[in-house]
């Protein structure tokens, strides 16, 4: 068998275009057929067919069928058939094992096809892209590690091809929908009906994507031109993000980190900024050749940005360590820790590349090349570990949370049983069963309540301790009952009342039984509380109030102070339907008197 004809850059030449086109069309059709058959087995949620009846197998097939053919489309014409077949088999097997593991460790609650969590979809796609573009240049060069400019050329060309191919596929479907709309105007629905058929839409989508890859591949010069323009534009954005990050870091000594920690997403924000710096530094560096040397402003910006990576990664690690120290490990924190680990490699390597000319003579940012290759390999290994039994985030999180409970790092009342029940898969359920047998009566009681629950919202948020609400009375000279101000926990509306001007409460006898109820108002909500026979104040529900402009219309606390506040009978009665009762929700129409200029 002869190899496809390619030029020295790995682009498919026109002489081999027919063979490449046939191969890619075949891959696209095969992928479409497999995905359609998988969809068909899971189409009826009430009567699943094989393999949808076997969640781990189904998830394995879906993940392999989604991404392995895309890798094959990119590899055709750049690898020999034997090497491509071997790499395709290995990639499909690894993807299948990742999908199998992800489904196998889940529980059956809300468990439906494709039985895959979003992180495994996102990270497996990223890992396959990185691994493929580490392997293709190495195979072409017949070395374990290829030249950096080969990695750059292959990966960035493939990235542009992927974006253009996805755009082409999206444009194709927009045109189909437009055509269907045109035919509907003249009362012909055949095209709209055809689009709705999955036996058509799934294979055609895969086929069109494969055709787009082929079209972009045989026009390699066009792709290189688009890539050059894209890199040039993106590289100048490096100066923007560098100034912003430098300003952010310069302001921290004066503002402190408290505001950052209060966001609840500080680590994700900082790691995102670091990732943006890394990508844009590479758009300026490109393949490192002398003829691609950027202007002086960009060279200086790349050096500064490379140095800024270190404080960003340190802040991310600090934030993670604080959260883990306070609340222990969770799957999200483990994944963030893995990202921070990769970030450490980038920060160290890029910092060395930026500063090494201070004590030795070297080409501009040259050490960046080794850093990129090392970080890419590490990223692939980390992804494989995270989505396999080696470092399964759910299992590690459960082990850590159980250890915190046993050593007293968290009390039985504040332990997150809902996490074990609903977020930690089979490992969490097993740990919860162990806690239900605990000799500690409080732990066992909470664990059994979690086991018996059917929704996480049925469980009290035991990770948040009760606190005494701060509620201002109205009128101010009529104090609220002490029982109403007792410590509460979510989801009680009083829990959100944490300052004097946040919540306002008025006592009124609303149902004429001679006992006062309490109306609790925030800016956008009025909740009704009534006292039970045991003396506890129980939330009865909320009043639906239209959001009207005008005085008092935007703040319900001001509306609660209105001197004419009184009850009003509903103009429409409840609708009794045997064991069901329907209550009319009136249209929220603002009175004309309220519609004034703000």
- Unique residue bearing structure tokens 């691609």: 292
Partner residues linked to 104 by β-bridges: none
Query: How distant is the alpha carbon of residue 22 from its chain centre?
Result: 37
**Which helix (H) or strand (E) is 368 found in, with range?**
helix 368-386
Q: What is the pLDDT of residues 491-541, one digit of tens each?
A: 788 888 876 567 999 998 888 888 899 999 988 888 999 998 888 899 988
pLDDT tens profile 218-245: 777 788 889 999 999 999 999 999 999 9
385, two tokens: 């570990």
Q: Give the angle 39-41-44 at the CA atoms, nearest 5°.
A: 90
Give CA–CA dist 96/90, Å, rounded. Answer: 10
For the chain, the structural domain boundaries read 14-218, 223-386, 393-458, 472-594
Q: Is 305 helix (H, G, I), strand (E, B) or coil?
A: helix
Distance between CA atoms of residues 350 and 353, nearest Å = 5
Banded model confidence at residue 464, pLDDT cuts 50, 70, 90: low
Nearest alpha carbon to residue 340 among 355, 321, 327, 358: 321
Lowest mean pLDDT among 54-63, 510-519, 579-588: 579-588
- Which H helix or E strand runs over 475? none
Q: Which residues pair with 76 in a beta bridge?
A: 79
Sorted by sequence, the CB contacts under 8 Å of residue 553 that are 6+ apart come out as 547, 559, 590, 594
- Name the CA radius of gyration of the chain, rounded: 31
Alpha carbons 266 and 31: distance in angstroms, whole number: 40
Q: For residues 246 and 517, what is the distance between their CA atoms, to the nearest angstrom?
A: 55
Contact 45, 112 (CB under 8 A): yes
- Kindly state the DSSP code that residue 202 receives in the 8-state scheme: H
Confidence of residue 68 (pLDDT cuts 50, 70, 90): very high
Do 59 and 245 contact (CB within 8 A), yes or no? no
Q: Where do we find the tokens 């829990």?
A: 495
pLDDT at 523: 82
* Whole-angstrom distance, CA of residue 385 vs CA of residue 395: 12
| pLDDT band per the 50, 70, 90 thresholds, residue 547 | low
- The sign of the dihedral angle between the CA atoms of 252, 256, 262, 264 is positive
Confidence (pLDDT) at 400 = 96
Q: Are 392 and 428 in contact (CB under 8 A)?
A: no
Tokens of 326: 């306070």
Buried b (16+ CB within 10 A) or exposed e, 61-78: bbbbbbbbbbbbbbbbbb
- 581: confidence class by pLDDT, cuts 50, 70, 90: confident
Q: What is the pTM of this model?
A: 0.78
**Tokens found for residue 452:** 């018996």
pLDDT per position as a tens digit, 75-106 = 998 888 999 999 999 999 999 999 999 999 98
Q: Give the side-chain half-sphere CA count within 13 A for 301.
A: 25
């Amino acid at each position: 068998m002869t190899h496809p004809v390619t030029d020295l850059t790995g682009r498919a030449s026109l002489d081999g275009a027919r063979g490449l086109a046939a191969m890619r069309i075949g891959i696209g059709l095969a992928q479409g057929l497999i995905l359609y058959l998988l969809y068909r087995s899971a189409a009826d949620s009430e009567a699943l067919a094989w393999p949808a009846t076997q969640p781990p197998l189904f998830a394995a097939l879906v993940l392999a069928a989604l991404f392995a053919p895309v890798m094959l489309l990119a590899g055709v014409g750049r690898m020999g058939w034997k090497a491509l077949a071997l790499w395709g088999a290995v990639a499909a097997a690894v993807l299948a094992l990742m999908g199998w593991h992800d489904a196998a460790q889940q529980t059956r609650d809300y468990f439906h096809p494709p039985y895959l969590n979003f992180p495994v979809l996102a990270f497996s796609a990223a890992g396959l892209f990185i691994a493929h573009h580490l392997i293709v240049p190495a195979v072409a060069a017949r070395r374990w590690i290829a030249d950096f400019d080969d990695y750059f050329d292959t990966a960035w060309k493939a990235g542009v091809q992927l974006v253009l191919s996805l755009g082409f596929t999206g444009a194709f479907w927009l045109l189909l929908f437009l055509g269907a709309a045109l035919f509907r105007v003249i009362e012909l629905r055949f095209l709209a009906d055809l689009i709705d058929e999955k036996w058509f839409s799934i294979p055609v989508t895969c086929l069109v994507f494969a055709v787009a890859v082929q079209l972009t591949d045989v026009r390699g010069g066009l792709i290189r031109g688009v890539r050059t323009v894209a890199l040039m534009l993106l590289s100048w954005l490096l100066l923007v993000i560098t100034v912003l990050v430098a300003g952010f870091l310069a302001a921290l000594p004066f503002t402190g980190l408290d505001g950052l920690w209060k966001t609840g997403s500080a680590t994700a924000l900082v790691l995102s900024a670091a990732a943006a710096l890394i990508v844009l530094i590479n758009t300026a560096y490109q393949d490192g050749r002398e003829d691609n040397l950027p202007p002086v402003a960009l060279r200086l910006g790349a050096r500064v940005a490379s140095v800024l990576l270190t404080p960003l990664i340190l802040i991310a690690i600090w934030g993670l360590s604080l959260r883990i120290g306070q609340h222990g490990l969770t799957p999200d924190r483990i994944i963030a820790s893995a990202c921070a680990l990769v970030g450490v490699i980038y920060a160290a390597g890029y910092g060395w590349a930026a500063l090494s000319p201070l004590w030795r003579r070297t080409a501009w940012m040259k050490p960046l090349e080794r850093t990129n290759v090392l970080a890419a390999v590490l990223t692939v290994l980390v992804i494989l570990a995270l989505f396999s039994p080696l470092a399964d985030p759910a299992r590690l999180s459960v082990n850590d949370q159980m250890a915190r409970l046993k050593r007293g790092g968290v009390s039985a009342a504040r332990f997150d049983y809902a996490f074990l029940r609903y977020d930690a898969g089979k490992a969490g359920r097993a740990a919860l069963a162990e806690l239900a047998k605990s000799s500690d009566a409080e732990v066992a009681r909470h664990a059994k309540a979690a086991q018996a629950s059917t929704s996480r919202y049925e469980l009290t948020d035991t990770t948040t301790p009760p606190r005494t609400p701060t509620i201002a009375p109205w009128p101010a000279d009529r104090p609220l009952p002490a029982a109403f101000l007792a410590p509460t926990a979510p989801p009680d509306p009083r829990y959100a009342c944490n300052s004097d001007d946040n919540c306002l409460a008025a006592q009124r006898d609303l149902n004429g039984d001679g006992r006062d109820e309490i109306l609790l108002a925030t800016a956008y909500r009025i909740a009704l509380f009534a006292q039970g026979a045991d003396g506890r104040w129980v939330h009865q529900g909320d009043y639906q109030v239209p959001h009207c402009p005008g005085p008092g219309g935007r703040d319900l606390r001001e509306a609660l102070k209105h001197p004419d506040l009184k009850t009003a009978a509903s103009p429409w009665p409840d609708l009794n339907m045997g064991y069901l009762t329907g209550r009319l929700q009136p249209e929220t129409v603002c009175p004309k008197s309220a519609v004034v200029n703000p």
